[in-house]
Structure 1
Amino acid sequence: MNTSFKKVLLAVVCSSTLLFTACGGDDNNHQFIQERTYISNAAYTQDSIQGAVIRVMSYKMPNVADQKAEATAMVFYPSTPRPADGWRVVVWEHGTVGIGDECAPSVNTLNPRFKTMAESLLAEGYVIVAPDYEGLGSKGIHPYLHLESAAQSAIYAVRALKDHLGSQMNGAWMSVGQSQGGHASLGTAEFANQDPNYKGAVAAAPASSLGYIISEIAPEAIARLEMGEAYGMVPKGTARNVYAELMAYAAYVAVGIKAYEPNFNYHDIFQEASQATVMEAEGSNGENGKCLGDLMASFQADIDQFTQTTGKAVMEYPGLTANFQDNPIIKQFLAINQPATKKLDKPIMVIQGEADTAVPADVTTALVENLRTMGTVVDYQLVPLAGHTQAIVERNAELVRFIKTNMPAQ
């Protein structure tokens, strides 16, 4: 065993001894609530990051039904020495995985794109908290793309870690997320706006304007992709894959609404031919539905069958009803869960790929312009030729620099 590896191993073991026996401490600068939110923590065994300790923390948070619920989050501890004034925390808010419990990040291997960022932040000495979100990996239906729920998942995870570690934490924290997580990170910035310990947000390809994307942008974009396929300029199946992804998102939204509107009949907003596939998002009880890859595959197969048997175009697939946005529950959902509608007092970085087909660049650019108009300071990183998941990887160095600038690790 070489000397450098021994030092890393010793640092991890020593940190673990402190972390796993911590039971609170001085909490005088905890301004939010008196009730403890921390429940317990256990080992994470699905994957690893060299030189880091990973635990799965259980904690309490308010859910969308305005009740206390249990939630889970992974916590990544660096092997670097803990700063004398305590660790700073970066909250990672993940992209769409599904709404079934088996889709939760804490029961799966780590996403390679997340690993890239995590290794960079851990090397700088940050603790990373990665919430599964309400209802993912814990009891209840996951309210997909519910802005406040996602924010509370992050805010209460940080509170729980403070309850657990006490003075080992500095108190300062920031949020980072991609896609669904970008939406969540902007929501966290909104709901933590008055917290002096909260220092800012990074949002990559933040989900927004879903109704507008599906009804206005997608039809033209998918038609262009189909034309490109016909002329050999775009790989076969691209249009179908893009539409299948959007349909999966729409299905998760519809099922997720049942977390707080249990009598909502999502069949009202989907045409009959697609309803059986939509039901696969929910499963038998909202907790055992298909994860994103499998649900997309189901929609791809259904779209293929439709186009092959009818000879019609991809966008003619009978998915959402033409007037789905007129449904009062959907109309309310789209209104209250649109991110970046308020001035944010903390600095924001937005990362967006120009070639993103899930969250189009024009939509994110408009979101950034709206934030700036309200007086929010935004560092906008528009990445040429990058797709939906690629942009945040290409701007990893800028992301880390933004966090270090606004919340130095030491």
Structure 2
Amino acid sequence: MKAPFFTRHLLAAAIFSSVLGLSACGSDSDSSDSYQNSRVYLSETTYSLNQGDYQVTNANSIKVMSYNMPGVAGKNVKATAMVMTPKGEKPKDGWRMVVWAHGTVGVGDSCAPSKNGFTNNRFSAMADQLLAEGYMIVAPDYEGLGTQGIHPYLNLGSEARSAIYAVNALKEHYKTDIQGNWMSVGQSQGGHAVLGISEYAANDASYKGTVAGAPASSLGYIITQVAPSALQDLVNKGQQEVAIEAYAELLAYAAYTAVGIKAYQPDFDYQSLFSERAAKVAVNAEGTTGDNGICLTDLHDQFAADIRNYLRSNPNQTVLNYPGLDTAEFASNQTLQKFLAYTQPATKKLNTPTMIIQGTLDLAVPFPVTQSLVEAQVKLGSNINFQPVVGASHTQAIVTKRPELVAFIKKYMPAQ
């Protein structure tokens, strides 16, 4: 499936917002990883939306599991994950598990993957192939998506714990049906998440490896150097519509990020990061309760419409003149700046084998940024399998490298 127009032209957008978003992660306390709960698993219901062009066909059952996990605010919270069991005979010692970490959808509960049908083959085709090989699939919604509370968007620790405690819940509930070993695969926001999983599960002997597609990194550099010049370049080339779509996407991600900070700092005034005009759109990311915010496509469309209205009313202005983010407030906001300095995935040697997939024409996560991350990890002594995909975009690369992805999982965690 071809990516939406605005997704294909994002040299600044998704990454800019990722930078801003990661600022929410700085409040994480390592003490939350000592969380103990006699009951992690809570319940399961049947997933009933497996239909349409991208349905998963090789699952014997698909459930939506509820479980407990430590939240970013320091309290236990309820989370959800899809659980897919394969057809065919179970291995004698139980199933191995593959965690899928999804990309950006929004922060409102209606955006949770478990509340929607499958909309692309990045997940469904990969899931079908892994299920056919005999792996169980675990797909967390992430903290606050589909459950009470604001989703702390792009919070590295929260993403990691959403996966780790989903796995713990499955081990608790399925007992001898589970062999125990697991790996993780993620794309975009999920690429960032699985690098977090690798860090937070470093002492878990049952965690066997990571596949990260287009993971966000070096975000401070990107926001200060790449994003402004990229939008200006689009304007200079006369690609106004592309620039509008890219800027709208940037603002949508920035809004989710800013709202996500409220998950652990409820009094955070995220509207101050935007102009008065843009703030009126940004509030729709949160909605009226924090649980009823609108999802990515709709928020993007609202920002794009407002940018077009601004240009119609100000015909002598360009996209860059649209009053979006308040750059002065962004630069001086201590909550944001602290986190920009704090957060960067894969800063330590990764303990398990890691495949990193990256398209050379990725306009959301530039190839040189991921290449630098890989080179730094190699110097640290990490076992990195780098898979550049020449000519591939942000969403194409992981689809193109699906055979290599599956082979990597089979190598380091045979299904039986």
Larger radius of gyration: 1
Task: Name which of 373, 394, 408 aligns with 1:367.
Answer: 373
Is 1:49 equivalent to 2:56 in the alignment? yes
Contact map agreement 1:242 1:358 (CA 8 A) in 2: no
Name the stretch that deviates more: 294-303 or 136-145.
294-303
Is 1:223 equivalent to 2:232 in the alignment? yes
CA distance change for structure 1 residues 248 and 34 in 2, over 3 Å: closer, same or farther?
Answer: closer
Name the stretch that deviates more: 124-133 or 212-221.
212-221
Q: Deviations over 1:173-192 (max 9, x none)?
A: 00111111111000000000
| In structure 2, C-alpha distance between the alignment counterparts of 1:45 and 1:82, rounded to whole Å | 23
Task: Name which of 73, 84, 95 aligns with 1:65.
Answer: 73
Q: Secondary structure at the match of 2:262?
A: helix
Contact map agreement 1:245 1:358 (CA 8 A) in 2: no
In the superposition, the TM-score normalised over structure 1's length comes to 0.88
| In structure 1, C-alpha distance between the alignment counterparts of 2:225 and 2:257, rounded to whole Å | 18
Is 1:81 equivalent to 2:89 in the alignment? yes
Q: Which has the higher contact order (CA 8 A, sep 6+)?
A: 2
Amino acid at match of 2:91: P
Q: Which runs of 5+ in 1 are unaligned?
A: 1-30
Matched with 1:244 is 248
Shift of 1:138: 0.3
Name the stretch that deviates more: 39-48 or 149-158.
39-48
In the superposition, the TM-score normalised over structure 2's length comes to 0.87
Q: Secondary structure at the match of 1:145?
A: coil
Contact map agreement 1:350 1:380 (CA 8 A) in 2: yes
| In structure 2, C-alpha distance between the alignment counterparts of 1:212 and 1:383, rounded to whole Å | 23
Q: Deviations over 1:39-69 (max 9, x none)?
A: 0001000114223110000000000011111
Is 1:330 equivalent to 2:336 in the alignment? yes
Shift of 1:308: 3.0
| In structure 1, C-alpha distance between the alignment counterparts of 2:58 and 2:123, rounded to whole Å | 16
Matched with 2:111 is 103
Matched with 2:287 is 283
Task: Name which of 23, 39, 42 aligns with 1:39.
Answer: 42
| In structure 2, C-alpha distance between the alignment counterparts of 1:352 and 1:165, rounded to whole Å | 35
Task: Name which of 115, 121, 140 aligns with 2:149.
Answer: 140
Q: Secondary structure at the match of 2:278?
A: helix
Q: CA RMSD in A?
A: 1.7
| In structure 1, C-alpha distance between the alignment counterparts of 2:192 and 2:133, rounded to whole Å | 25
Name the stretch that deviates more: 174-183 or 42-51.
42-51
Amino acid at match of 1:79: K
| In structure 2, C-alpha distance between the alignment counterparts of 1:174 and 1:402, rounded to whole Å | 10
Shift of 1:32: 9.0
Q: Secondary structure at the match of 1:259?
A: coil
Contact map agreement 2:97 2:137 (CA 8 A) in 1: yes
Percent identical:
54
Count, aligned residues: 375
Amino acid at match of 2:144: G
Shift of 1:268: 2.3
Amino acid at match of 1:282: E
Matched with 1:173 is 182
Matched with 2:407 is 401
Matched with 2:24 is none
Q: Deviations over 1:189-241 (max 9, x none)?
A: 0000111100111111112344433332112122222333x2xxx6x622221
Q: Secondary structure at the match of 1:221?
A: helix
Matches within 5 A, 1:122-161: 122-161=131-170
Name the stretch that deviates more: 200-209 or 143-152.
200-209
